[in-house]
Amino acid sequence: MSEITSYRMFIDGAGCDAADGATLESVNPATGDVWCRFPNAGAADVDRAVKAAHRAMTKGPWSTMTATQRGKLLFRLADLITEQADKIAEVETRDTGKLIRETKAQIRYVADYFRYFGGAADKLEGSTLPIDKPDLFVMTVREPIGVVAAVVPWNSQLMLSAVKIGPALATGNSVVLKASEHGPTPLIELVRLCHEAGFPAGSINVVTGLGDPCGKTLTSHPLVARIAFTGGPSTARHVIRNSAENFATVSLELGGKSPMLVFEDADLDSAANGIVAGNFGATGQSCVAGTRVFIQDKVFDQVLEKVAARASSIRIGDPLDTQSEMGPLATKAQLDHVEAAVAASVQEGAKLITGGQRPSGFGKGWYYQPTILACPGQHITSMRQELFGPVLSAIRFKDEADAIAMANETEFGLAAGIFSRDGARSLRVMRQLRAGIVWINTYRAVSPMAPFGGYKNSGSGREAGMESLLDYTRVKTVWINTGTEPMGDPFIMR
């Protein structure tokens, strides 16, 4: 067995262990072996991190920096991420099983997110108001909210962190980042680069540990003013309850069970590629995975045949091998969950088209085949549950109204995909889908300029885009008496 690496948290500008010395282990999903240890933060550690962030907000130098200076730090961070992308990518692949070809590309793109927010840092403006009272000049200014608790899962964690800490730091807030216990090391590397870039002590901190007490203490801490959370609905309910202790502003990105609609007039090769990308990219471990695939009757068999052919040829392998196209699931529990859901779906009447089992030859690794299920209805388990694995469920539809009704028949509403050559139809359907993101003749495209977020149980608030910066500020209204006379007697009404 290779040597086990030890990682430390970053609090108040320095690496540190948990106060009681407690640690957790991370298992490499490709091998099933422990590869590193990291601190298991307790309540005292989180309290120290939040207080360090609060000091940064109230005392210099972070609190006295101009927006332009903060922007320059974010540009410097982006450069460091680009320079060390290969190193961080390897760490993330070992920790989560995400393909090295994907981690390298995504990390370099994460740098663009920080450049975007860095450039926007000094572009936020207040306003003057045409007030209805004489001799009063009224203006608004935007100020940082305070200490931000950013909580992210293990999948696409650098991207999910960038859309939180980027706008938070650009607008002058300080941050305590809580990394997932399932693969936290890339975020430790990210915060290390923040300090190397020159962010003052306490402005950005990272803690590692379990949801309780680490996450619970953070999201309920009285000095936390803003919570940005990505995860599942069940955990989000705890976060909302915790926020009752501090009345923090909360934004939630909670994943989904996204529909993909393929109409008979679609470019079927494009649609097939979109379905493969939306279900087997990142081994299906994506919050926007398009796992509910609705295909019009006339082309159902043809589309499914194309997708099945590509799924059967996907090269499953070591995620550190650049030739691999699909790697393992991130946790053993997730693998067990996917296996059980597929078995239940088949028992309920779904037809297994391809996949449906662990591939041979991977030892203790947590691999699962790309799997396609043809479902008779939406009562099937795989059509209802977010599996977070390489499993797509396909169902027929008759016409446009039928497709829209079935697509909206879910508690989630993060994303949706439409494949059709009819532009009018695409726009018509788009307007009726209850989803925060709709891709037309493409899938899984993201950008720092484009807001990201969902409807219904997929959460509230938006990440990325200029709107996200506004969400990390408060508006202050300033009233100035410009008259030459003293303020009037308050008991004389005019």
Collect all residues with Cβ–Cβ distance below 8 Å to 254 and sequence separation of at least 6: 230, 231, 232, 233, 236, 287, 412, 414, 454, 457, 458, 459
Provide the strand spans (E) within 30-160: 33-39, 127-129, 136-144, 147-151
Of the candidates 419, 453, 460, 413, the residue with the CA atom closest to the CA atom of residue 435 = 413
Collect all residues with Cβ–Cβ distance below 8 Å to 127 and sequence separation of at least 6: 139, 140
- By the 8 A CB rule, do 283 and 318 touch? no
H helical segments located in 97-215: 100-120, 157-170, 185-197
Burial degree of 362 (CB within 10 A; 0-12, 13-18, 19+): middle
DSSP string, 291-360: -EEEEEGGGHHHHHHHHHHHHHH--B--TTSTT-SB---S-HHHHHHHHHHHHHHHHTT-EEEE--SPPS
DSSP string, 394-446: EEEE-SHHHHHHHHT-SS--SEEEEE-S-HHHHHHHHHH---SEEEES--S--
Per the residue annotation, which of 189, 253, 386, 463 is the catalytic one? 253
- By the 8 A CB rule, do 78 and 100 touch? no
Q: How many CB atoms lie within 10 A of CB 475?
A: 11
Dihedral of the alpha carbons of 219, 222, 228, 233, in degrees to the nearest 10: 40
Q: CA angle at residue 75 from 453 to 436, to 5 degrees?
A: 10
Quote the tokens at residue 79.
Answer: 């450069």
Distance CA 71, CA 77 (A): 10
Is 253 one of the catalytic residues?
yes
Collect all residues with Cβ–Cβ distance below 8 Å to 136 and sequence separation of at least 6: 479, 480, 481, 482
Provide the strand spans (E) within 204-276: 204-208, 224-230, 249-253, 259-262
- By the 8 A CB rule, do 281 and 432 touch? no
Distance CA 316, CA 30 (A): 11
Task: Work out whether strand 292-296 and strand 391-397 pair parallel, antiparallel, or are unpaired.
Answer: parallel
* Positions marked catalytic: 253
